[in-house]
Amino acid sequence: MSLLSVENLTLQFRTDEGLITAVDDISFTLGRGEVMGLVGESGSGKSVTAKALMMLNAPNAVYGADSRITLHLDDGDVDVLALRRARDMRVVRGGAVSMIFQEPMASFAPALTIGSQMVEQLQVHTDLSKAQARELSVEMLNRVGISDASTRFNQYAFELSGGMRQRAMIAMALSTRPRLLIADEPTTALDVTIQAQVIQLMQELVKDFGMGIIFITHDLGVVAQTADNVSVMYLGRMVETGPVREVLRRPAHPYTQGLLDALPKLDDLDAPLRPVPGDIPSPLERPSGCVFHTRCDRALPQTCATTAPIWTQTGPEHRLACHLSEGEHCA
Interaction site with ligand ADP (CB under 6 A)? 13, 15, 20, 22, 40, 42-48, 58, 60, 283
Closest distance of CB 161 from Mg ion, Å: 23
Closest distance of CB 294 from Mg ion, Å: 22
The binder of 111, among Mg ion, ligand ADP, none, by C-beta within 5 to 8 A per type, is none
Is the Cβ of residue 105 or residue 308 nearer to Mg ion in the bound state? 105
Is the Cβ of residue 153 or residue 292 nearer to ligand ADP in the bound state? 292
Is the Cβ of residue 20 or residue 194 nearer to ligand ADP in the bound state? 20
For the chain, give the secondary structure using H, E and C.
CEEEEEEEEEEEEEECCEEEEEEEEEEEEEECCCEEEEECCCCCCHHHHHHHCCCCCCCCEEECCCCEEEEEECCEEEEHHHCCCHHHHHHHECCCEEEECCCHHHHCCCCCEHHHHHHHHHHHHCCCCHHHHHHHHHHHHHHCCCCCHHHHHCCEHHHCCHHHHHHHHHHHHHHCCCCEEEEECCCCCCCHHHHHHHHHHHHHHHHHHCCEEEEECCCHHHHHHHCCEEEEEECCEEEEEEEHHHHHHCCCCHHHHHHHHCCCCCCCCCCCCCCCCCCCCCHHHCCCCCCCHHHCCCCCCCHHHHCCCCEEECCCCCEEECHHHHHHHHC
Is the Cβ of residue 44 or residue 107 nearer to ligand ADP in the bound state? 44
Closest distance of CB 233 from ligand ADP, Å: 7
What residues are paired with 212 via a beta bridge?
Answer: 180
The binder of 43, among Mg ion, ligand ADP, none, by C-beta within 5 to 8 A per type, is ligand ADP
- The sign one gets for the Cα dihedral 274, 278, 279, 284 is negative
Is the Cβ of residue 115 or residue 283 nearer to ligand ADP in the bound state? 283
Closest distance of CB 36 from Mg ion, Å: 16
The binder of 13, among ligand ADP, Mg ion, none, by C-beta within 5 to 8 A per type, is ligand ADP
- State the Cα–Cα distance between residues 215 and 217, nearest whole angstrom: 6
The binder of 226, among ligand ADP, Mg ion, none, by C-beta within 5 to 8 A per type, is none
The binder of 319, among ligand ADP, Mg ion, none, by C-beta within 5 to 8 A per type, is none
Q: What residue type is assigned to position 307 of the chain?
A: T
Query: What residue ranges bind Mg ion (CB under 5 A)?
Result: 47
Is the Cβ of residue 47 or residue 121 nearer to Mg ion in the bound state? 47
The binder of 40, among ligand ADP, Mg ion, none, by C-beta within 5 to 8 A per type, is ligand ADP
Is the Cβ of residue 120 or residue 219 nearer to ligand ADP in the bound state? 219
Q: What residue type is assigned to position 61 of the chain?
A: A
Closest distance of CB 276 from Mg ion, Å: 18
The binder of 67, among Mg ion, ligand ADP, none, by C-beta within 5 to 8 A per type, is none
Closest distance of CB 22 from ligand ADP, Å: 3
Closest distance of CB 222 from ligand ADP, Å: 15
